[in-house]
Every structure is written in C-alpha cells, then in structure tokens.
Structure 1
Amino acid sequence: MSQSLLRALTILTQLGEEPKSLEQLATQLGVHKSTVLRLLQTMEGERFVTHDLEHRYRLGSRLFELANRSLEGRDVRIAARPHLSALNAATGQTVHLATYESGQAVYIDKLDATHSVRMYSRIGRPAALHCTAVGKVLVAALPRTQWRAIAEGIEYRPFTDRTIRTPEQYLAELELVVAQGYAEDHEEHESFINCVAVPIRDGTGAVIAALSMSVPDMLLDHDQVLGMLPQVRAAADAASTELGWSPSPGTTSPDH
C-alpha cells in the first residue's frame, strides 16, 4: 500500500472517532503539517472530508454516500428492514441487525428505542463476539471446527461482572446457543442492558445475519425480555422467508 494512501485512510479512521485539527492529525501521523494539509485538501476536493470555521476537520458527505450505497447493497438489510421496523414499533425497544465479516460481528442496521435510553452501538461498528447476543449467534452458526480458533483469538475484555472471561466459557456458551436456538446478553456488555438475538437465514438455510432486541433493565427485567423472544424470532423468520428460507411446517429456524 502506498504511503499516501495509508495516511489518507488513517486520517479517515481518526476523523471517524471525532473531529480533529490539522495539528492533531499531523501529530498522530507523525508527519509535518504541510504533508497532512495536502492530503486534506485533496480529500476535501472530493468531499471525503470537510472543515469548519475553526479549521477542525470531520468526515465529508461523499463518505456517507458511499457507506449508504454499500449498506443498501446488502440484500439482508433490505429484506430485514421492514421487519426490524415492525418489531421496533411493536415493542418500542432498540433493534439491531448484524453480520459476520472478516472475523468480526458488525452492526449493519439499527432502530433506536422510543424511550430516552440510547445504546452504545452504531451502524458500522463491530460488536464484541464474547458478550453480545448478535456476536454469539453469528459465531455459533459457523462450523464447529472454527470455534476453538475464534474463542482463543478473542481478547476477553471484562465489560461487566457477567462478561465471559475464558475460551472454555465461551465455547460452552456457543453450545448453549446452538441448543436453544437463540443467544442472550444478560448484562454482559452493559450492566443495565439485557438482549436476545436470533439468526436470519437465506434460501440455503445458512445463517447470514443476527437480529437482536436490547432493553434496559429499568424497563423490563431479564425474564420479561426473554418473554419477548417469540416476537424477535417472528421478525427474523419473516426476513428469512423473504430471503428464500422455507421452514418446515410448525417449526422455526432450523438447528445448527
């Protein structure tokens, strides 16, 4: 990769976190401000970045256009969106859609809750594999021969007292997800949030995404969130049907 391209990508990554000044970007890149300014001017000319009156740079509209086109190109997002919207409207809770890409679970759609509590998650942001319900669903859907390597490659960051801490605990959790057909985040990523997730399948029956619903415990306790699992599963199954999946009569999603 060329040095200029790498620097430009690094700038975009940095600005994705928060707006930054020319001096801050030069310091983080370890190069002279004039070098960074030339890159920024080129990127601004193509609308990849923009700056305000205080000369703080932020991501530009061109990048969001490309990101939106990429997301719209995902058939699962298009098929699932009406069902995510219906679930969100019926429950008033936060609904997520995630896929597994390059070893990560990534949120590709989100509908916020109607109450004032907002989730940390964002579209395009990875979801921790070991302590989010979508992460567990997506890894559990992979061949078991891959589980051990994934489990041993995770950095088990302890977000809460309930967070899984070891590969062995994680492998046991994956077995549970397969056995019950859904995954939980029981205050494992955020201490006041309970979440359930289920798979979305394509016409071959393969799991291509995970749909979840997250609820603050001040609104519903753990058992009440589990009680909403049929609604979450119905939304996922409806999206799966649009993608060509055909369940057997009287059944929901097939076992792993």
Structure 2
Amino acid sequence: MSQSLRRGLALLTELAEGPRNLDQLAEAVGVHKSTAMRLLRSLEADRFVKRSDTHHYRLGSALFELADRALDEIDVRDTARPHLLELGESTGHTVHLAVRENDQVVYVDKVDSTHAVRMYSRVGARAPLHCTAVGKVLLSELEPVQRRELVTALDRPALTDSTITDPAELLAELDRVSRSGYAVDRGEHEDFVHCIAAGVRDPRGEIVAAVSLSTPKVLLDLDGLLGLTGELSHTCDRVSFELGWQPQDH
C-alpha cells in the first residue's frame, strides 16, 4: 500500500470519530499540515471528505454511497448457511431462511430435519405472510403505519382452523412478535406443523430475513418447540453480527 493511500485512509478513520480541523488531522496522521492539506484536497475533490465550516472537515457523501453499495453486496444466504446447518444439527428439526418479497415470503435456504417424519418444503417456494412465523417476523419489522396498511391490504385466507384472518387480531399478534423478538405459527399454515421464527438484522439494525424452526406436532409439542427459542435467537444474532449488526447495548 502506498504511503499516500495509507495516510488518506488514516485521515478517513480519524474523521469517522467526528469533525476535525487541519491541525488535529495532521497530528493524528503524523504529517506536516501542508501534506495533510494536500491529501484532504484530493479527498474533498472526490467527495470523500467535506468542509463543515471554514476550519473543520468531516466525512463526505461518496464514502456513505460506497458503504451502502457494500452493504447491498452482502449475501445473507451465504453468511447464514453455516449457522443454519449448526442449528439443524443441534435441534434435528427443519430450518428455513426466508425473505419478504412484496406480500409473500420466499424460502431462500433450507436444512432438512434429521427425523424420518418431515415437512415438505423447498427452496424458492413462496408462502403467505399472515400465517407463517417467518412472515410475522418480517411484518413486525415494518413501521406501525406501514404495517397496518400492508396487513389491511393482504389477502388473509384461512388455511387452517388456527389461521389468523382478522386484521386487528393479526396486528395485535405482530405487536407481540415485535416485543418478544420471535414469532409462532401454531398450525396456522399447515395444521400438522408448528413453527417458531426470529429475525436476522443488517448493519442498520433492520430485519432483512427470518430463520425458522419447523416440526410436525407429532414429533414435538408446542412447549418443547418454544423451549428452542433461545437457541434460535442466538443463531439469528450470530448471523446478524457477521452481517455487521451491533446490539444497542454492545
């Protein structure tokens, strides 16, 4: 790495802590003020830094544009895959990774159950938002007004006797999901299967995917399934951390 590039990156790192004047930047990087000024002018020309006033510099818009592009390039599926395999191995149950696409969820990865009795599903399949645990998690991420609008607009067919079709009841369920950090499908999508799910967060803290554990009721009762919520949440936290998310109390 060239000396000028190293110094330019050092200036950007220093500015990440907040606005600095020329003297502070030159001292932090260990160069003469004239050298710091030359580097800053180059960075300013390409919008990597900007002057917040006559004497102070701060990070510029080009740096944030690059950061956004870098975040968009992160593949949630590739990042999550080893953690999904570990969760599947430790629990023995079916694991799904899902994302929201308009008014449906799309399963983008799956780890099969180790049990002889399994639920049928496939990568690429779509499912409703209102009656799946992953769908509830992805809906719960929306702002309250947007959440209400989408729930009201959704088709909410009763796929089983347990499906929540009333919008007010569904919104109350989503509030519970938002507070607890996980969702439950109590045989609402398929009456012989129940499921729990939690969210995967990106560096901005937004839920971009959901991970679920699903099992036929004959293999595990609801209390037993709910007993796995801690392990599920821990898996989601590890995936989120690898994606760049930092908990608020970190």
TM-score range, shorter chain: 0.5 to 0.7
1:146, distance to aligned residue in structure 2 (A)? 1.1
2:131 aligned residue:
131
* 3-state SS of 2:172 partner: helix
1:107 aligned residue:
107
* 1:1-256 aligned within 5 A: 75-249=75-249
1:49 aligned residue:
none
Contact kept, 8 Å, 2:94 with 2:214, in 1: the verdict is: yes
Contact kept, 8 Å, 2:103 with 2:128, in 1: the verdict is: no
Residues 116-146 of structure 1 deviation map (CA, whole Å, 9 limit, x = unaligned): 2232332111121111000000011012121
AA paired with 2:178? Answer: V
* 3-state SS of 2:225 partner: helix
Contact kept, 8 Å, 1:131 with 1:188, in 2: the verdict is: yes
- Find the aligned partners of 2:147 and 2:97 in 1 and give their Cα distance: 22
1:245, distance to aligned residue in structure 2 (A)? 0.8
- Find the aligned partners of 1:102 and 1:155 in 2 and give their Cα distance: 12
- Find the aligned partners of 1:207 and 1:156 in 2 and give their Cα distance: 23
* 3-state SS of 1:188 partner: coil
- Find the aligned partners of 2:136 and 2:121 in 1 and give their Cα distance: 16
Contact kept, 8 Å, 2:96 with 2:211, in 1: the verdict is: yes
- Find the aligned partners of 1:171 and 1:204 in 2 and give their Cα distance: 24
Contact kept, 8 Å, 2:197 with 2:213, in 1: the verdict is: yes
AA paired with 1:181? Answer: G
- Find the aligned partners of 2:136 and 2:101 in 1 and give their Cα distance: 14
AA paired with 2:210? Answer: A
Give unpaired runs (5+ residues) of structure 1.
1-72, 251-256
Moved over 4 A (4+): none
Comparing 177-186 and 140-149, the one that deviates more: 140-149
- Find the aligned partners of 2:163 and 2:99 in 1 and give their Cα distance: 21
User: TM-score by structure 2 length?
Assistant: 0.68
1:248, distance to aligned residue in structure 2 (A)? 4.3
- Count of residue correspondences: 178
1:84, distance to aligned residue in structure 2 (A)? 0.2
Give unpaired runs (5+ residues) of structure 2.
1-72
Instruction: Summarize the Cα distance change of 1:158–1:74 in structure 2 as closer, same or farther, 3 Å threshold.
Output: farther
1:100, distance to aligned residue in structure 2 (A)? 1.2
* 3-state SS of 2:233 partner: helix
Residues 139-171 of structure 1 deviation map (CA, whole Å, 9 limit, x = unaligned): 110121211221122222212111102111111
- Find the aligned partners of 1:203 and 1:217 in 2 and give their Cα distance: 36
Contact kept, 8 Å, 2:103 with 2:129, in 1: the verdict is: no
Comparing 149-158 and 172-181, the one that deviates more: 149-158
1:208, distance to aligned residue in structure 2 (A)? 0.6
1:104, distance to aligned residue in structure 2 (A)? 2.1
User: TM-score by structure 1 length?
Assistant: 0.66
Instruction: Please give the root-mean-square deviation of Cα atoms over the aligned residues, in Å.
Output: 1.5
- Find the aligned partners of 1:122 and 1:149 in 2 and give their Cα distance: 30
Give the share of equivalent positions with the same residue, in percent.
Answer: 49
Comparing 113-122 and 173-182, the one that deviates more: 113-122
Contact kept, 8 Å, 1:127 with 1:134, in 2: the verdict is: no
1:176, distance to aligned residue in structure 2 (A)? 1.0
